[in-house]
Chain A
């Protein structure tokens, strides 16, 4: 099942506790929830179990060390952890550098507006619900696009479907998501 709205804000407050107080209890809960998901993501991306375990530990350790970089007005905790895991995947599995855009971050003294944080976390909840409610075939396509280390054309080869169909299906799924978020 999906995280509830309150759960999302709870993860945000866990990140604040980790950032401000090096709170190990908060980190333990975050770890218990996300570390298996990160490991699963890396295994689906083609890693063997022991490498995925090692990387999942590194990803969660990075969450601790970079807690001050997390901006809850721009991302849910799940999204932020996903981006760290994705970058680790490119680094370790694909052995490439990951060029990142110039960063837009809050200054050391500033905090995002609490209303903006609430709004973003609620929108993430709607997005999560919309994904959960997609027909299974469409949801699997989205998962393949993110977790399979392959391009849209490779998905087409694997499933034997023409490329145009795949693309329009993914697009349809995304349009549903966008609509659901309005």
Chain B
């Protein structure tokens, strides 16, 4: 393991991932982070265990199986497993598996769009309750200063960034909410690539970014 992850996802998010109540873009963030972070994986699986125990505990009085339910299930089994398209993943990619699935390949498959000052983004296809995008910030460059209406989570995939005295490297997640105004600056040594998810549009300070925001969907 090349780097010790210091900034993790919160218990709330990990529990909601286990419960299956998060928007798809947030699920993508959790699956991507957990692919790199065994501490959070253990946390998610302990919340899975809570779900399992609640399932085991609950004997529903008013729920009965349909007549012939078992025979129908055996017929499903006889029909063979549901065919799943085999997952093809690039080994050694900086994109963890779940992210490769959404990009449709490795780094060279990302469809970047410039959003100014060398910063690029690629919006990933998820349900509309929240959005997920990849961000490319040139080494040493800053993201525009922005606040938030909702929750924003940003995870580093390549390079690193500095924000308000905290340092974020591969696997680290920065959590921001409506109280946060921040200006992440990419580390000088390498271009920074991040996964960012949010459940509300970002609010940029200043007129130009506000206009750009209407077109760039950030």
Interface residues of A (CB under 8 A from B): 2-3, 24, 28, 31-32, 34-41, 43, 50, 53, 56-58, 60-62, 64-66, 74-76, 78-83, 85-87, 89-90, 94, 96-102, 104, 124, 127-128, 131-132, 142-143, 145-147, 149-152, 167, 170-171, 174, 177
Contacts and interface: CB of A to CB of B under 8 A. Distances in A.
Given A90-B20, A97-B24, A53 B69 contact: yes
Contact of A78 (B16, B32, B56): B56
A146 B51 contact: yes
Contact of B54 (A74, A99, A147, A167): A147
Given A57-B76, A87-B20, A146-B19, A152 B12 contact: yes
A95 B101 CA distance: 17
A2 B57 contact: yes
B15 A99 contact: no
A102 B35 CA distance: 5
Contacts of B76: 57-58, 61
12 contacts: A37-B58, A61-B77, A65-B81, A66-B81, A85-B55, A99-B102, A101-B31, A102-B35, A142-B50, A145-B19, A146-B19, A152-B12
Interface string B59-77: 1100111100110111011
A60 B56 contact: no
A65 B51 CA distance: 22
Contacts of A143: 54, 58
Nearest to A43: B63
A68 B28 CA distance: 26
Name the 3 nearest CB pairs between A and B, nearest first: A79-B52, A40-B60, A78-B56
Contacts of A2: 56-57
Contacts, number: 171
Interface stretch (B41-49, B141-149, B203-211): B41-49
Interface string B117-147: 0000000001100000000000000000000
Interface of B is mostly: helix
Given A57-B69, A57-B76, A58-B76, A78 B55 contact: yes
Nearest to B100: A102
Interface string B9-24: 0011001101111001
A39 B55 CA distance: 10
Given A96-B24, A102-B35, A146-B54, A56 B65 contact: yes
B184 interface: no
Nearest to B70: A31
B27 interface: yes
Q: How large is the interface on B (under 10, 10 to 19, 20 to 34, 35 or more residues)?
A: 35 or more
Given A35-B73, A61-B77, A86-B20, A131 B50 contact: yes
Indicate the member of A35, A86, A142 with the most B CB atoms within 10 Å.
A86
B19 A86 contact: yes
Contact of B31 (A24, A28, A99): A99
Nearest to A60: B73
B57 A151 contact: no
B69 to A, nearest CB: 6
B108 interface: no
Contact of A98 (B27, B50, B53, B97): B27
Contacts of A127: 49-50, 53
Contacts of A124: 49, 52-53
Contacts of B41: 101, 104
Interface string B83-101: 0000000000000111001
Nearest to A2: B57
